[in-house]
Amino acid sequence: MTTKLSFATFNLYNLNEPGLPLYKNSRPWTNEEYSRKIAFTSSMLRLMKADVFGFQELWHAASLRRTLAEAGVEHDYEPLVPDGHAGGRIVCAAAVRKDILVGEPEWITSFPDIFRLSSGGDDAQTSGISVNISSFSRPVLHLTIRPRDDTEEIHVYICHFKSKGPTWISSEPWYDRDIYSKHSEAIGAAISTVRRTAEATALRMILTERMKGTNTPVVVLGDVNDGLLSNTLNILTGQPNYLTGFSTGGGDADLYTAQTLQEYRSTRDVYYTHVFQNERESLDQILFSQEFYDNSRKRIWAFEGLEVNNDHLNFEDHREIGSNDHGVVRARFKYDPVVTS
């Protein structure tokens, strides 16, 4: 039975068929650009060799299948893409080793029915607030794997949250150029932040329902568009305590970050997955429940290490070289359950 297990998160940078439209301000891929893009993407699959690849920014199912074929792994991996996904929108997707995949994937678009971001203020000086958001801008992919017959199924969630880029507001009915043009960047950035925060909260609620009071292993892969110490990550993880005794820790509904566990194994933090205006940030995360945390009393899988392939971020012309604009992150685990007497 499987004794090693690995997960990777991989933003595909608008992988679509050549000639098909992308964002309104982006040119479609030419045939030459597309060929280079397929070559680069397939090389990453061969190099990283994860059991589960979680993808963001996939526009077309045919492009993912072509990438798997180019990598020579189409017989080993099952591509998970919504039916009829043919270039009209962006989704999260996956490629999963066929021998461990179980059940049917689902794409979660709507927030939980009980989702609320509303408050009258918690003191006399605080005004009320109400946020009206009810869905993920990029549906969350939920799938299950079973690498061993003697362990529970592992639930994997693949997400892509709203970027830090300011939301475009000039087409809003309330927008008055004379009043708002000089404030549009600040307002747009605030809207993006609120949306990303809401998406993190909605996914956190879904995860809590799955984990609370259970021993269900959970892994989250995604471009969360925020760093390790951000409020986005704090909401998603529950801010667990890492500094516990061996086999004494673990939180029932907490998530642990591969980045933090890797930092414990290194004397220097050089983890980054995205570069913008010369700032290096870690936007792509692998999170996991207490069943994957080394010091947990309920550990099943022990963390072995993390790799980030990000050398291509040193070159900005991704169209020219076919690369993506995020690092590819992989976390590795070994089967090593806590022995109870």
Taking a C-beta distance cutoff of 8 angstroms, is the pair 170, 188 a contact?
A: no
For the chain, how far is it from start to end, CA to CA, in angstroms? 24
pLDDT in the model for residue 265: 81
In a domain, 128, yes or no: yes
Give the chain's mean pLDDT.
Answer: 92
pTM of the model: 0.94
Tell me how many domains the chain contains: 1
Read off the pLDDT band of 199 (50, 70, 90): very high
Indicate if the pLDDT at residue 34 is higher than 70.
yes
* Residues 220-262: tens digit of each pLDDT: 999 999 988 899 999 999 998 876 666 566 778 899 999 988 8
In a domain, 340, yes or no: no
Nearest Cα to Cα of residue 193 among 133, 141, 239: 133
Indicate if the pLDDT at residue 28 is higher than 70.
yes
pLDDT in the model for residue 92: 98
In a domain, 341, yes or no: no
In a domain, 115, yes or no: yes
* Residues 64-102: tens digit of each pLDDT: 999 999 999 999 999 999 999 998 899 999 999 999 999
Percentage of residues in the chain having pLDDT higher than 70: 96
pLDDT in the model for residue 247: 59
In a domain, 133, yes or no: yes
* Domain membership of residue 300 as a residue range: 4-335
**How far is residue 25 from each of residues 135, 168, 205, 238, 242, measured CA to CA in Å?**
24, 12, 34, 37, 43
- Rounded to an integer, what distance in angstroms lies between the CA atom of residue 312 and that of residue 327? 8
Helix, strand, or coil (residue 31)? helix
Tell me the DSSP string of 225-281. Answer: SS-TTSHHHHHHH--------TTTB--TT--EEHHHHHHTT-SS-----EEETTEEE
Q: Helix, strand, coil % (nearest 5) of the chain?
A: 25, 30, 45
Residue 229 maps to which CATH number? 3.60.10.10
Token readout for 155 is: 């639930």
